[in-house]
Copies of this chain bind each other. A is one copy, B any other.
Amino acid sequence: MTSTDHGHTHGEPGAPVRPTRQRRAVAEALASFEDFRSAQEIHARLTERGEKVGLATVYRTLQLLSDGGEIDMLRTEDGEAIYRRCSATHHHHLVCRACGATVEVEGPAVERWTKAIAAEHGYAEIAHTLEVFGTCSSCR
């Protein structure tokens, strides 16, 4: 409930994380997808591949990875959480609302604008979310 950070927050001691079959499975499923998927979809894939992993576990694992900054998480326009393995650089997404095709885009201009605006109003420890939705050419 306080996982506000967009940046990575590794290194917290916490409790040891054990590499289990189900965690590996979730990681693999994540790796097998090109773009963002909901916990439900990930669980479905696992199931259809014969991997028996409880839905709750998928949620727990996804949350764990997300909190650790190891995967990207964003929200659909209707509030559903969707996840994806992420690259190292900070970027944003251009998502097709019909087929879900995602394009990663970088926006140095936006980053700069964000920092400037924030500083201008006296805000610190800036984080921002920016997602662009549209209909891709093949869905039109």
Contacts and interface: CB of A to CB of B under 8 A. Distances in A.
Contacts of A137: 122-124
A97 B118 CA distance: 13
Query: How many copies of this chain?
Result: 2
Interface string A64-79: 0000000000010111
Given A4-B77, A79-B80, A117-B94, A124 B140 contact: yes
A56 interface: no
A134 B1 CA distance: 15
Interface of A: 1, 3-4, 75, 77-81, 94, 96-97, 103, 105, 107, 109-110, 113-114, 117-118, 121-137, 140
